[in-house]
Structure 1
Amino acid sequence: MRTAPAWYSQDMASAGFLAIGSGPAGVSAAETFRSKHRNIAVGILSDDPALPYAKPPLSKQFLCGEPTELELHSAGWFERNDIELSLGVRVAHIDTATQQVITTGGARYRYWHLVLAVGSTAVPLAVPGGESALTLRSFADAVALKMAARHAATAVVVGGGLIGCEAASCLAALGVDTTLVAPETVPLQRRFGVDVGERVVKMLSEAGVHFVGAAQVTAVEDAGVTLDSGEALGGELVVAATGARPDVRLAVAAGLVTHEGRVVVDEHMRTSAHNVYAAGDITIAHNVAAGRPVIAEHWRDAALQGRVAGLTAAGFDSSWDRVPGFSCVVGGFTLTYRGWGGRHDACTVTERANGFRAHYSLQGRAIGTLDATANPAS
């Protein structure tokens, strides 16, 4: 891949559509725009050196050692569709007044339409020795974790969220004696509540994962971790699944309107700056179906928002009107959620022959549904 697009120029006439970020939002936006305009320059800038890939399988099939296709498109696809893909390029600044993107190397890319789709960064494990814990946000992270698991007999996963539960399940499936530690009493408590969390503990146990709840890791050492109780947990491998934070640094520096750490966009993915759009993890976007701004942090939603941004930039009417949703795999179960997320004040769980269903509501209004279904191979 070239480090600078062929259409790179100081001449505004050669500018076109530019996406920052090679995840689902950025690639979907570029692909959609290209499908509507064959003769306008389209480019993607990404600080990730890897060819654009799907992230959900990293903590599922890939880490578990199962066959999976990670690439969103082949290198040849980008070439055939005349989308200039520039990898390993870090953007330093967006100048919305002159419609230019400036990289840390000093290169300048002019744009007519810009989509900001940089995603999130891992929240570090902020304890002594925490920098030695492995994370799972990128393909490089997943490769490092998978290789480390081959030589580890024990592991500690810190964090009881979706990634933590999936990673712990996979490590246990690989034969690693794995313990999951979370500050909540049960995994996924903040997202799905105690009733569901207790069932997740059982899923993890059946998968061979030990769960330690209501505990804080205070230090990471060579032989494992130390908890706030003073207890030491052995772990040749320590994984920090301590959450992710939207990367809004470029947006803030460019003067885009943000709210509580996210870029504010309308239902068409427009930001407060002319011809600048945002999609994916970094946004709080107006959802037509919900009738209000919604935070959606998952792959499917990012791809949908990217499509809306690409269509809007291309001059077509498009709005984000789908109900957000995602799925994850915990042990022998697939959990599928559809809804608006956020706070709920009531949860009703209904048992089923192959799992359960949880209905969430807030002040009597339905806001989401979670289905847990046993996988056929279980």
Structure 2
Amino acid sequence: MATSSGLIAVGSGPAGISAAAAFRERHPTLRVQILTADPALPYAKPPLSKDFLCGRDHHVDLHTADWFDRRRLELVRGITVDHVDLDAREVVTRGGRRYAYWNLVLAPGATPVPLDVPGAENALQLRSLADAVTIRMTALHARTAVVIGGGLIGCEAAACLAGNGIVTTMVAGEPVPLQRRFGLDAGERIAKLLSDCGVRFVGSARVVEVCDDGVMLDDGGSLDGDLVVAATGVRPDARLAEAAGIRTRGGRIVVNEHMHTSAPNVFAAGDVALAHNVTAGRPIPTEHWRDAADQGEIAGASAAGQPAVWAKVPGFHCAIGDARLKYRGWGTGHERTRLVEHRDGFTVWYEAGGEVVGVLSLNADEDYRLAAELVGTHLPLSDG
């Protein structure tokens, strides 16, 4: 039997890498392994839709191979973990190989929500570096494109494609992009940003079939698309935890403020985690890069015996053409929105229970900074 690792991280995204690095800092001699199904060196996903598709200068690699070697972090690529044996403290791969651990961090991220229509196999997804390369190569020979889905990734991808001279249409199935998440006021302004980039937005329509040359809509219409991208969202991949009997809720792994699961010596971080945020005073789901890295660092430190806590207010940036949207907040629903127009941007404040729970801003960094204070201290927005 192989020597047990001091820590095994399942997943090579920001949560898994941060957990491994944080554990290594505190235990310089114990074995640390990172297991991932991805054959590529760990890379950052946000630049894929923000820069890579646009043809801008991009740096997607998280670290070089030498970075892992110098820290003696064993990166095992191209393997799929089948299940976790909690009693034996082993991770078992699909091929039957067993990896023994003392501490385990589950950070498998999320999987794309499949496009469930005839011809869905003709649509390309944007979830991995390989996906981004395929889309970029296909776009070189495309005159028209359809992006299905009006989420953050869909907006960024559509703006990139249009910016490269491709006639691009977005179909979102709601009146304005991101309405369910950010409300009508924000959605209308995001639609304007997309229009300024040359993206045509088709709201309240639904794709019912993907064809060789475009898509069919539920109203009987059709859209030309030499390239069709399915940006239909993701769902946390909690299958390993569920099969092992680790506590989950709503498809996520339940963890405390230290990222500890219901199982001994097992932690979880990133998209898959439903973590207790001590500032919020409740569990907060988040699917953003910086938050995953923060949670991974906390998981690695806690596994190393130096428990840290998750207390930061989550946030992210979204690039639509040259516009940079910034969000800070809990992202868990709101009761009231307040729109403030600026000369070259806007701010949308989100409130619930008499306090600020989030802010979405464009060219309003002062509001963005203020949001961190108001959200973090549970304060209301002054009417002044």
TM-score (norm. length: structure 2): 0.94
Confirm or deny that 1:89 pairs with 2:102.
Answer: no
Q: Which residue of 1 aligns with 2:362?
A: 372
Within 5 Å, give how 1:164-203 maps onto structure 2: 164-203=154-193
Map 1:234-249 onto structure 2 (within 5 A).
234-249=224-239
Residues 333 and 374 of structure 1 are in contact (CA less than 8 Å); yes or no, is this contact kept in structure 2? no
User: 1:373: Cα distance to partner?
Assistant: 2.4
The yes-or-no answer on 1:340 pairing with 2:330 is yes
The 3-state SS of whatever aligns with 2:298 is: helix
For residues 76 and 138 of structure 1, the distance between their equivalents in structure 2, rounded to whole angstroms, comes to: 22
**Correspondence for 2:11:** 21
Given that residues 16 and 110 in structure 1 are in contact (C-alpha distance below 8 angstroms), is that contact kept between their aligned partners in structure 2? no
| Distance (Å, rounded) in 2 between the aligned partners of 1:225 and 1:83 | 46
Shift of 1:16: 1.6
CA contact (8 A) 1:203 1:332 kept: no
Which residues in structure 2 correspond to 1:1-378 (within 5 Å)? 9-11=1-3, 14-373=4-363
Amino acid at match of 1:347: T
* SS class of match (1:128): coil
> Does the aligned pair in 2 maintain the 1:186–1:197 contact within 8 Å?
yes
Q: Deviation at 1:142?
A: 0.5
Task: Describe the superposition over 1:87-140 as per-residue Cα deviations: whole angstroms up to 9, x where unpaired.
Answer: 001001100111000001111000000000000011111000012100001001
Mapped contact 2:346–2:364 kept (Cα < 8 A): no
Post-superposition offset of 1:210 = 0.2
Residue 130 of structure 2 aligns to a residue whose secondary structure is helix
**What is the alpha-carbon distance in structure 2 between the residues aligned to residue 194 and residue 30 of structure 1?**
41
Q: TM-score, normalising length from structure 1? A: 0.95
Measure how far apart 1:374 and its partner are. 9.1
Q: Which stretches of structure 1, 4 residues or more, deviate above 3 A after TM superposition?
A: none
Distance 1:291 1:319 in 2: 12
2:56 counterpart letter in structure 1:
E
Name the CA distance, whole Å, in 2 between partners of 1:229 and 1:114. Answer: 50
Paired with 1:354 and 1:271, the residues of 2 have a C-alpha distance of: 45
Shift of 1:332: 2.5
Cα distance per residue 1:346-372 (max 9 Å; x no partner)? 111111122111100113221001111
Q: Which runs of 5+ in 1 are unaligned?
A: 1-8
Q: Identity rate of aligned residues, in percent?
A: 58
One-letter amino acid of the counterpart of residue 33, structure 1: F
Letter in 2 for 1:314: A
Encode CA deviations 1:130-162: one digit per residue, 9 max, x unaligned: 121000010011000110110100000000000
Q: Which residue of structure 2 lines up, in the alignment, with residue 5 of structure 1? A: none
- Give the Å deviation of 1:331: 2.3
Q: What SS does the aligned partner of 1:310 have?
A: helix
Offset at 1:23?
0.1
- The CA distance in 2 between the partners of 1:248 and 1:99, in whole Å, is 18
Give, in whole Å, the separation in 1 of the partners of 2:313 and 2:344. 25
How far apart are the structure 1 equivalents of 2:198 and 2:233? 23
Tell me the alpha carbon deviations over residues 44-83 of structure 1, each in whole angstroms, 9 at most, x when there is no partner. 0000000000000000111100111111110011011100
Deviations 1:192-236 (A, max 9, x none): 100110011110011000000001000000110010000011111
Say if 2:326 and 2:360, in contact at 8 Å, map to a contact too. yes
Q: Retained in 2: the 8 A contact 1:358–1:369?
A: yes
| Paired residues of 1:334 and 1:374 also in contact (CA < 8 A) | no
CA distance in 1, matches of 2:41, 2:219: 44
Q: What secondary structure sits across from 2:173 in the alignment?
A: coil
Cα distance in 2 between the residues matched to 1:317 and 1:109: 25
User: Contact conserved, 2:347 with 2:364, CA < 8 A, in 1?
Assistant: no
Query: How well do the aligned residues superpose, as a CA RMSD in angstroms?
Result: 1.1
Gaps of 5+ in 2: 366-384
* Counterpart Cα distance in 1 of 2:240 and 2:122: 27
Does the C-alpha gap of structure 1 residues 15 and 201 become closer, same or farther in structure 2, counting only changes over 3 Å? Answer: closer
**CA distance in 1 between partners of 2:133 and 2:244 (Å):** 34
